[in-house]
Amino acid sequence: MKVMVCLKQVPHQDAKLDINSDGTWIQEDNIKFEINSYDTYALEEALRIKDADADTEVVVVSIGPDRVTQALRTALGMGADRAVHVNDAEAFGSDALCVAKVLAAVAKAESPDLIFTGLMTDDGNSSAVPPMLAELIDVPSATGVLHTEAANGSLKVERELEGGAIEVVELPKPCLASIQTGANQVRYASLKGIMQAKKKPIDVKTAADLGVSDVASKATIDKVYSPPKNATADILSGSTDEIVSGLMGKIKELGVL
């Protein structure tokens, strides 16, 4: 079985972020990056299939600049078998549909039995790429998946619904699942694994190599800014009774109850 895992390298969750000088994105120079947290669960889910069946091949795919190799090496160190790195200035940071088009081209070339992605990215937050990718290659998909069980011809998944309900869905293979955080306990790249990863291949490709054109973003980011801090908090003071009646007065005044 072949499992393709799509992963994105995003600014580290703990990185101190500043907006760049023209106000269109964050300052990326000299900040730390990591694998998008959702994608680590997707990778772990794939590696568990490999743990159970050693014949499984796990291929990780990422679109991004040179720095992305660190994310791919980490994934290889965790146990993935090989990587495809789409290093293409236009495709990187493009809109969801263009990113999905590029990933679809990789999927067509690889023809995996399963594609696992994260539910969304920590930076872009759109959740749009996984279902678009599934549509472009015409395979069924499930989003927000907490549990997977690969059987012979199908994948059984448990999806998280609003209100804590779980939906169980069975998808015929090939298919795609976007994985929710907390789906599993993600392993760390072991030092031995990292040493072995040096020998594993990373295939570097451009969009043109994959036969896709027109991958530059159609949407442009006008502006990125931090909402201004406005000091609208009222601090109530006095005795407990005074504070309580003051608070009740405010609640009535605002009509929020």
Partner 1 sequence: MADYTGVDFMRLDDTQFSEEERVVRDSVRDWVSKEFLPRLQEHVRKDGSFPMELVPQIAELGMFGANLEGYGCAGMNNVAYGLMMQELERGDSGLRSFASVQGSLCMYPIHTYGSEAQRERWLPGMAAGETIGCFGLTEPDFGSFVTGMATRAVRKGDGWVLNGTKRWITNGTLAQLAIIWAKDEEGQVRGFVVETDRPGFEARDIKGKFSLRASVTSELFLQDVEIPDENRLAGVEGLRGPLGCLTQARYGISWGAIGAAMGCYDEALEYSKERIVQGGPLASKQLTQQKLVFMLTEITKAQLLALQLGRLKDAGRYDHTMVSMAKRNNVDIALQIAREARDLLGANGIVDDYTAMRHMVNLETVRTYEGTHDVHMLILGEHITGMRAI
* Minimum CB distance to partner 1, residue 189 (Å): 4
Q: Per CB under 8 A, which of residues 94..153 are in contact with partner 1?
A: none
Question: For partner 1, which is the closer residue by CB, 12 or 156?
Answer: 12
DSSP at 189 = P
Q: Please tell me the distance from the alpha carbon of residue 38 to that of residue 45, in angstroms, as a whole number.
A: 11
Using alpha carbons, select from 174, 177, 143, 186 the residue that is nearest to residue 36: 186
Site stretch for partner 1 (CB under 8 A), options 10-18, 50-58, 114-122, 218-226 = 10-18
Question: For partner 1, which is the closer residue by CB, 113 or 203?
Answer: 203
SS3 28: coil
For 147, residues 6+ apart whose C-beta sits below 8 A from its C-beta are 157, 158, 183
62 near partner 1, rule: CB under 8 A:
no
15 near partner 1, rule: CB under 8 A:
yes
* Minimum CB distance to partner 1, residue 191 (Å): 3
Q: Per CB under 8 A, which of residues 68..87 are in contact with partner 1?
A: 69-70, 73-74, 77
Q: Could you give the count of Cα atoms lying within 13 Å of 1 in the half-sphere of its Cβ? A: 23
229 near partner 1, rule: CB under 8 A:
no
Quick check: bond before 174 cis, omega within 30? yes
| One of 21, 153, 198, 240 touching partner 1 (CB under 8 A) | 198
Q: Please tell me the distance from the alpha carbon of residue 184 to that of residue 173, in angstroms, as a whole number.
A: 22
Question: For partner 1, which is the closer residue by CB, 198 or 218?
Answer: 198
